[in-house]
Structure 1
Amino acid sequence: MIFNKLGQTDMEVSVYSLGGSAFGNVYSDDVPDESMFGVVRKAFSSGVNMIDTAPWYGQGRSEEFLGNILPTFGRDSFYLNTKVGRYDLDPAKMFDFSAERVMQSLDKSLQLLNVPYVDVLQAHDIEFAPDIKLVANETLPAMQKLKDMGKTRYIGITGYSIDILKKVIEISPVKVDTVLSYCQGSLLNNSLQDDLYFFESRGIGVINASGVCMGLLTNHGPRQWHPASQQIKDACRKASEYCKERGSDIAKLATHFCVTQPGIATTLFSTAKISELESSLTIVEQGITEDEKKLMAEVMERFFDPLESRSWHNVELEQYWNEISKAKSQ
Structure 2
Amino acid sequence: MQTRPLGRTGIDLSILGFGASSIGQEFRQVDMGEALRAVHVALDGGMNYIDTAAYYGRGMSEIMLGRMLPEIPRDRYFLSTKLGRYAPQHFDFSAKRVAESIDVSLERMRIDHIDMVFCHDIEFVDTKQIYEETLPALRREVEKGKVRFIGVSGYPMQIFKEAIAKADVDVLLTYNHYTLQNDMALQLVPLCEEKGIGLINAAPFSARLLTNAPLPQWHNATPEVRKVAAAAAAHCESKGSDIAKLALQYSVANESFASCVTGSANPDRVSQWLQWLDEPMDETLVAEVLEILKPIHNWIYTVGLPENEDPINEGGANEGIAKS
Deviation at 1:317, TM superposition (A): 4.7
Aligned-residue RMSD, C-alpha? 1.7
Equivalent position of 1:3 in the other structure: 3
Equivalent position of 1:325 in the other structure: none
Kept in 2, the 8 Å contact 1:16–1:259? The answer is yes
The 2-side partners of 1:224 and 1:145 are apart by 40
Going from structure 1 to structure 2, the CA distance change for 1:293 and 1:196 (only over 3 Å counts) comes to same
Q: Once the two structures are superposed, what CA deviation does each residue of 1:256-278 show, in whole Å capped at 9, x if it has no partner?
A: 00111131110001111112111
Q: Secondary structure at 1:108's aligned position in 2?
A: helix
Kept in 2, the 8 Å contact 1:221–1:237? The answer is no
The runs of at least 4 aligned residues of structure 1 exceeding 3 Å deviation read: 315-318
The 2-side partners of 1:201 and 1:110 are apart by 32
Kept in 2, the 8 Å contact 1:133–1:168? The answer is no
Equivalent position of 2:314 in the other structure: none
Deviation at 1:228, TM superposition (A): 2.7
Q: 1:120 aligns with which of 112, 116, 120?
A: 116
Deviation at 1:39, TM superposition (A): 1.0
Matched, 1:47 2:46: yes
Deviation at 1:24, TM superposition (A): 1.9
Deviation at 1:311, TM superposition (A): 1.4
- Between the two proteins, what is the percent identity of the paired residues? 36
The 1-side partners of 2:155 and 2:232 are apart by 23
Q: Once the two structures are superposed, what CA deviation does each residue of 1:24-82 show, in whole Å capped at 9, x if it has no partner?
A: 2233x211011112111111111110100001111011000001011110112110110
Equivalent position of 2:318 in the other structure: none
Q: 1:226 aligns with which of 214, 219, 228?
A: 219
Equivalent position of 2:312 in the other structure: none
1:11-90 equivalent positions in 2, closer than 5 A: 11-27=11-27, 29-89=28-88
Equivalent position of 1:324 in the other structure: none
Q: 2:256 aligns with which of 244, 259, 263?
A: 263
Equivalent position of 1:103 in the other structure: 99
Deviation at 1:306, TM superposition (A): 1.6
**Which amino acid counterpart does residue 133 of structure 1 have in structure 2?**
K
Kept in 2, the 8 Å contact 1:19–1:268? The answer is yes
The 1-side partners of 2:286 and 2:60 are apart by 36
Equivalent position of 2:136 in the other structure: 141
Q: Secondary structure at 1:267's aligned position in 2?
A: strand
Unpaired runs of 5+ residues, structure 1, are: 319-330
Matched, 1:295 2:285: yes
Q: 2:239 aligns with which of 241, 246, 271?
A: 246
Deviation at 1:221, TM superposition (A): 3.3
Matched, 1:179 2:172: yes
Which piece of structure 1 moves more, 175-184 or 229-238?
229-238
Deviation at 1:148, TM superposition (A): 0.6
How many residues are aligned here?
A: 308
Going from structure 1 to structure 2, the CA distance change for 1:167 and 1:59 (only over 3 Å counts) comes to same
Kept in 2, the 8 Å contact 1:17–1:269? The answer is yes
